[in-house]
Amino acid sequence: MSHLSSSKFKSAKMAVLTVSDTRNEETDTSGKYLVESLLEAGHELRDKKIVIDCPYKIRAIVATWIADENIEGILITGGTGFTQRDTTPEAVSVLFDKAVEGFGELFRHVSYLEIGSSTIQSRALAGFANNTVIYCMPGSTGACRTAWTKIIKEQMDSTHTPCNFMPHLGQ
């Protein structure tokens, strides 16, 4: 594996999508957490939306962001469970050029250490499309915190060694 880190931090252009039938800007604590975290880490927020859990509406927003050269990373919270309304994996995975299987595996591992076997109900996933990384995580703020602090923050840090996702981003 080649050395894919840099000694200089590079900011990523990010978008945040909350998938929920009930949350709005005032009650979207998970989306707010992700926005604050990415900004605190030195990245740029290019867009933020809330969408109902409808696979076609989710897919339309994500596809538009994937095609936008001003967005390099997408953080999606919500819709990754097992209820009939949870459709984020089905909506987003068809857009991937490459899946990042390790994200879901690692998320469930670190989540298991926090919440036990309930993590088996998470269908967290990630992938790349058009040189844009897409992370899909559960809708709880705690799950977003776990995903961000234990996985995403490091992979979106160009100085993280031995490698990170930053060299793979951009048009």
pLDDT one-digit tens code per residue, 30-88? 999 999 999 999 999 999 999 999 999 999 999 999 999 999 999 999 989 888 899 99
pLDDT of residue 124: 96
Q: What are phi and psi of 101, to 5 degrees?
A: -55, -35
Residue ranges per structural domain of the chain: 13-168
Residue 10's alpha-carbon distances to 71, 151, 162, in angstroms, are 14, 17, 16
The candidate with the shortest Cα–Cα distance to 130, out of 65, 56, 75, 76, is 65
Average pLDDT of span 97-125: 95
Confidence at 5, pLDDT banded by 50, 70, 90 = low
| Topology given in CATH for the domain delimited by 13-168 | Molybdenum Cofactor Biosythetic Enzyme; Chain A (3.40.980)
